[in-house]
Amino acid sequence: MNYKVIERKDPRNPEAPGKYYGFIVNLSKIGIEEIATRISSSCTVTRHDCLAVLSALQEQIIYALQEGKRVHLGDIGSFRTVANGLGSDTAEKYDSAYITKLRVCFTPNAKLKKAMSLDNKAFTLERVDFATEEDSDEEEGGI
């Protein structure tokens, strides 16, 4: 896994010198087509069947979230919807107009957390000093 080093300024004190942080560099993406191919090569299910199931899974996750349900995906983790909004002086006055934004939050399960732990020897971190088109995680946080 690759990372690059980026200087970040403190927005509360723009005159202060920046600090340097590591950010994961995503060299490529994997989509539903490639996932289906990988699954079909490791079991007896055809690629087309995998695509059908993965496509239906995407739809069902959306439907469940729209119904206000939390979606658990086994060892991967869970998705849930959270609301952002304005406060009201009283509970009686509060209504849905105070909710200004809905977000989907993902919470990884223990197995995924362990797989992505720095203690896991399945991968190493290597510094790179170049940017790529796929390098889009800078806004999401550092190492």
- Residue 125 inside a domain? The answer is no
- Nearest-angstrom CA–CA distance, 141 and 22: 9
23 against 136, higher pLDDT: 23
**Which tens digits make up the pLDDT trace of 75-104?**
999 999 999 999 999 999 999 999 999 999
Asked, for residue 133, whether it belongs to a domain, the answer is: no
Span 50-66, pLDDT tens digits: 999 999 999 999 999 99
Indicate the pLDDT class of residue 131, thresholds 50, 70 and 90: low
pLDDT over threshold 80, residue 137: no
Inside any domain, residue 106? yes
For 26-52, write each residue's pLDDT tens digit. 888 999 999 999 999 999 999 999 999
In contact, 22 and 4? CB cutoff 8 Å: yes
Coil vs helix vs strand at 35 = helix
**pLDDT tens per residue, range 110-127:** 999 999 999 988 888 999
Task: Kindly state whether residue 97 falls inside one of the protein's structural domains.
Answer: yes
User: Is 41 within the bounds of a domain?
Assistant: no
3-state DSSP call for residue 11? coil
Residue 16 lies in a domain: no
Instruction: Tell me if 104 is assigned to some domain.
Output: yes
Range of the domain at 92: 70-117
Would you say residue 9 lies in a domain? no
Work out how many domains the chain is built from and give that number.
1
